[in-house]
Structure 1
């Protein structure tokens, strides 16, 4: 495989980093906001250029000064789209998705890989997705979105992630989403040796009962308290697997613990469930205190999933496999026809006109709800005319690199709580 280069933004503690490295990518640079995660990256790859700070701050790194790279990759912050959060999208000070697309236009890599939470795939963000896809097309990139689950790529947990891949047309013709390689075991088979490592007499019985894959591991943020394994629904699923989800243990259960003891997971066990450490090539050391290590691990992109995606991208960039017509790679998708109708018009349009252009059947209450949803991420001007109220798309509310954007002020105010 040819030597391929990558710049990774919002690199975290190295889940995507390791996966891309195993897929044949050489890191030119990695940028990360959290100093503990950056310390972990430097511990494992001391020869890498790891920059600490706000990825959108050009005093941390200057994209235009870098040589051309094959891949721009990153796991930009999830809270703007998380189902568990407020889903503020473009108005969240942590949102960097649209900014990363504009960065693609500046750096002009051959390919782009961005991953985020399942929430970004929901109807709430249909127009946001359309905006991203349209902008990439303007920049000369074919793109496609896909919802992937970690369990389908050798990881013993659910962990759905919404992934965006973009490439130039000449490379996109060779791209195929990676084939599924489902995890063959359970939480019990994945963690039995660790649970038995201090001679706990209940390890074998526990492993037999932990006979399913794990729910999605939730790393959390600095805004919350200590480490635990997620919200109430997740805790119930963990309990069904025989795991106490109310915290993370320093050590596995021992010889003095009863057979029916309900253990907590250690950070090493959590890392195993994220796809680290099941073989020498996935070995990784995490630095910092226990809560920090847990958050680094829990917020990561599982290395085997990143490896599968990296391999698929590398194959396309090396034009390996079978060449296809782009229409076979991805059929034209309109994520939000109402947004498309607004965008295509240079003049204000009434409700009736917009519904007709969108080609969708909807009553007035549905139209108003859709417009209110659009207005959360976009500036929409409303004018009262003789024929009724008319609407015009004026702009995008999100941060795309503007020096005077309010994102900078809010980010500075909340910096100590952002992770």
Structure 2
């Protein structure tokens, strides 16, 4: 099945869809360092099949999508700055709002399905009307905005079509859900909105995959059975942390049957200790960036929990979420490779640019394994015979 990747960044979503059986006709991205990352990994064949990737560095506003058709899937992590809790909260008034261009791609290419990833902030009360507008545009992409028409006026026309219940042109069945990456085995508590749509003729029902991992199961392994500490060959702490209190004394059979959340330790313990003066020859992007310090609101992530949400930060400078806080009170910045592990990129995937630029790419990325969970489910649905 053919796919087009938009707003590709460092390739997290693109890798997830690639591993799910989609063949990319093109990967569109405008940032030079991100394109360098994609091209380098394609040139070096970092994963089977990526050597055929066609990386297109372009301003999406000026792009003719018809040159890439036909495709079965359009996917993209639409730039999240307009809706991010850490941004300026301009939303639909932000010139970086790229949702109209994603809708245009769906309108021009008429794929069987699409996948969008975005920040939790998109669901904020402030943007509720605009989220409804995005949702209805994706449902009826042919009903495009007229010249000089306000987005509120366009929304009213879309609402009229939806409530009438009769529409003969291109239509998609669209659903969305807020997913926590940690609930799917990613060592990071990263909450993201996924919007998935199927062309109305695809015909089969679809739902988001069920979570497979839980915080409760991690507490069982750490503070009831102790198997977490045994697995890592470290001594169990004598004093449980406050977050374990609700689970102390609970018998093992009272816990759910899910797998435990993966922690930072789970993700990176086998890597060598990073140094500032050298990078291991066999571990790419694993040089220590010194100078980490804690202050209020900038405290780092507990080594024995999933990482906090990695963030791109302002001008590529990450915040406390990009630091590890160890049990002995010390802390340090994650290396690029460690952050890549937390975002579930393969170790062969190299990131171009300085430490700050590479961390910016990672902070903006979709965890590869989470993208694959959603994309595999979509792929299976598209392979079914329509009713």
Aligned pairs for 1:231-310 within 5 A: 234=321, 241-242=325-326, 261-277=330-346, 283-310=348-375
- 1:154-194 CA deviation, whole Å, 9 max, x = no partner? 21111111111011123352422122222643112222222
Aligned pairs for 1:189-268 within 5 A: 189-194=266-271, 196=273, 210-220=303-313, 224-225=314-315, 227-230=317-320, 234=321, 241-242=325-326, 261-268=330-337
Deviation at 1:43, TM superposition (A): 1.2
| 1:88 alignment partner in structure 2 | 90
SS in 2 for 1:216: coil
SS in 1 for 2:271: helix
- Kindly tell me the number of residue pairs found equivalent between the two proteins: 279
Measure, in 2, the Cα distance between the counterparts of 1:55 and 1:287: 22
Measure, in 2, the Cα distance between the counterparts of 1:65 and 1:272: 35
Gaps of at least 5 residues in structure 2 are 44-51, 141-169, 214-259, 281-301
Gaps of at least 5 residues in structure 1 are 200-208, 244-258, 325-419
Question: Residues 87 and 226 from structure 1, CA distance in 2 versus in 1: closer, same or farther, beyond 3 angstroms?
Answer: closer
| 2:186 alignment partner in structure 1 | 155
Measure, in 1, the Cα distance between the counterparts of 2:194 and 2:315: 29
SS in 1 for 2:37: helix
Measure, in 2, the Cα distance between the counterparts of 1:261 and 1:89: 38
Question: Residues 226 and 68 from structure 1, CA distance in 2 versus in 1: closer, same or farther, beyond 3 angstroms?
Answer: closer
Measure, in 2, the Cα distance between the counterparts of 1:197 and 1:35: 27
Measure, in 1, the Cα distance between the counterparts of 2:199 and 2:107: 12
Measure, in 1, the Cα distance between the counterparts of 2:81 and 2:203: 30
Candidates 4, 7, 16, aligned match of 2:4: 7
Kept after mapping to 1: 8 A contact 2:182/2:261: no
Measure, in 2, the Cα distance between the counterparts of 1:211 and 1:19: 26
Moved over 3 A (4+): 195-199
Candidates 10, 14, 19, aligned match of 1:17: 14
Measure, in 1, the Cα distance between the counterparts of 2:345 and 2:8: 16
Report which of the two structures shows the higher radius of gyration computed on alpha carbons.
1
Measure, in 2, the Cα distance between the counterparts of 1:226 and 1:131: 31
State TM-score, norm by structure 2.
0.67
Measure, in 1, the Cα distance between the counterparts of 2:118 and 2:203: 21
| 2:245 alignment partner in structure 1 | none
Deviation at 1:45, TM superposition (A): 1.7
- 1:188-245 CA deviation, whole Å, 9 max, x = no partner? 222222254779xxxxxxxxx722111100013xxx3453235xxx47xx56x329xx
Kept after mapping to 1: 8 A contact 2:32/2:57: yes
Measure, in 1, the Cα distance between the counterparts of 2:71 and 2:381: 15
Question: Residues 88 and 225 from structure 1, CA distance in 2 versus in 1: closer, same or farther, beyond 3 angstroms?
Answer: closer
| 1:164 alignment partner in structure 2 | 195
